[in-house]
Structure 1
Amino acid sequence: MKLLVVSDSHGDRDILVDLKQQFAGQIDAWFHCGDSELAADDPLWQTYHVVGGNMDFDTGFKSQQVIAVGQYKVFLAHGHRYQIKQSLTALALAAREVQADFAFFGHSHELGVIENDSTLFLNPGSISQPRGQYQSLGGTFAIVTIADSGDVTVTFHTRDGQVVDDLTQSFEKKA
């Protein structure tokens, strides 16, 4: 199973369309972690699960979602409501409350992935306005691959779809 996770596109609708075309038929579920700056009724949201971010002023966006993908639960939020720039504690509590296997979030524009208490926390970075250590990559998104065994591999990609090999991380299923 493959999940594509993108965030903080800030009005760059074309990159979301490009990803959809480039990975058509390869992705089982699509996620946008907020700050799209698009309308809540944009046709793209028929493909992507999406939440509103602090720069999304359309009131039609949900602030968070819990999405079932196969046997897994994904908690989707932007991150600003959970003070993710200070710590992941509030986000972890929200994810734990819904028994999420994954917590996908944006807001900081900085990519990262960590596993904590059997929940995988993933910020794909900003596809359009990256910050931090990997800003020079020019924007990133992530693909989460879940093997039949339950093992998970997270690959980060640049805007043009190229894998950043040094950032690939694998996580073994917990017994």
Structure 2
Amino acid sequence: MKIGVVSDTHRMTRFMDKAVPYLEECDLIIHAGDNYIDARYLYDATGVNVLAVVGNCDWDDAEDELFFEAGGKKFFVCHGDRYDVKYGTNMLQTKAERMGADVAVFGHSHVTHIETVNGILYINPGSMALPRGGSDRGFVILDIKEGKINVKEIKI
């Protein structure tokens, strides 16, 4: 199973359009917020189901956290602002461990972060639109095969 992971697209369709050829090959897309409405844009452009949460720049009345299973792995998705991810992932780690997640997806900082801690894969794909901290514009594709997750960073 291939899962595209995006965040912080901020309604900048010119950058999302560059990601479409990669994302349309996925089985699922996860959008970690800012801007929630972009999940609909990505669905319309790719035809791939998009699961999304709202971020601190969103005004939509939608979920701010999701917990679901895909590819045999348990995913916890949030934007990250409520877990102070700009200052570290300690609060996020506590929540992900308590939820029994295999993968925790977040955004907010606009900085790419890929790390495994205590068996949980933490992924911030950075921002397609407004990268920070030396990160490139991009996103991540997870390829789950035989219980293993391969992480591929895509720069656009």
TM-score range, shorter chain: 0.7 to 0.9
The answer on whether the counterparts of 1:12 and 1:36 sit within 8 Å (CA) in structure 2 is: no
What secondary structure sits across from 1:132 in the alignment? coil
Q: Structure 1 stretches (4+) deviating beyond 3 angstroms?
A: 13-23, 42-46
TM-score by length of structure 2 reads 0.87
Instruction: State the match for 2:141 in structure 1.
Output: 143
Alignment of 1:1-150 (within 5 A): 1-13=1-13, 15-16=15-16, 19-24=19-24, 26-36=25-35, 38=37, 42=40, 44=42, 47-58=49-60, 60-134=61-135, 137=136, 139-148=137-146, 150=147
Higher Rg of the two aligned structures:
1
Q: What RMSD over aligned residues (CA atoms) do the two structures have, in Å?
A: 2.1
Listed one character per residue, the Cα deviations across residues 130-175 of structure 1 (whole Å, up to 9, x for unaligned) are 01122xx3x1100111221x2322111122xxxxxxxxxxxxxxxx
In 2, distance between residues paired with 1:117 and 1:125?
Answer: 22
Structure 2: gaps spanning 5 or more residues: none
Q: Report how far residue 39 of structure 1 moved.
A: 7.6
Answer 1 or 2: which has greater strand percent.
2
Instruction: State the match for 1:172 in structure 2.
Output: none
| Identical pairs, percent | 32
Structure 1: gaps spanning 5 or more residues: 160-175
What secondary structure sits across from 1:61 in the alignment? coil
Residue 109 to residue 43, structure 1, CA distance change in 2 (3 Å): closer
- One-letter amino acid matched to 1:99: G
In 2, distance between residues paired with 1:76 and 1:95?
Answer: 9
Greater relative CO, 1 or 2 (CA 8 Å, sep 6+): 2
TM-score by length of structure 1 reads 0.78
The answer on whether the counterparts of 2:34 and 2:55 sit within 8 Å (CA) in structure 1 is: yes
Q: How many matched pairs?
A: 152
